[in-house]
Copies of this chain bind each other. A is one copy, B any other.
């Protein structure tokens, strides 16, 4: 079973914030909203611009990404927890 996001939405599996070994990103303890780390599981086909052209996403399945802590909507697929968010919620790709 799979969940395919629509348009510019993506399906992300959150990486535990305590586990800093995966990507090496350490979130500082400041008053600012802290970004979270996740792995992209599925992506949409991209949004259609006013010109009628479909704009492909910059992220792809498997990318390790950083996103705003409160971004997305939680959902469980086959017992696993995921987040559905828009590509615009992604701050950057961890390489």
Q: Which residues of A contact B (CB under 8 A)?
A: 1-7, 9, 11, 23-28, 30, 32-35, 42, 44-45, 48-53, 55, 58-59, 66, 68, 73-79, 81, 84, 87-88, 90-95
Given known contacts A49-B48, A49-B51, A52-B53, A25 and B91 CB-to-CB distance under 8 angstroms: no
The answer to whether A26 and B76 touch across the interface, beta carbons within 8 angstroms, is yes
Listed by A's residue number, 16 A-B pairs whose Cβ atoms lie within 8 Å are: A1-B24, A3-B94, A3-B95, A5-B91, A6-B90, A7-B58, A7-B88, A11-B92, A24-B77, A25-B76, A34-B74, A35-B73, A45-B58, A49-B49, A50-B50, A51-B52
Select one of B25, B68, B76 contacting A73, CB under 8 A: B68
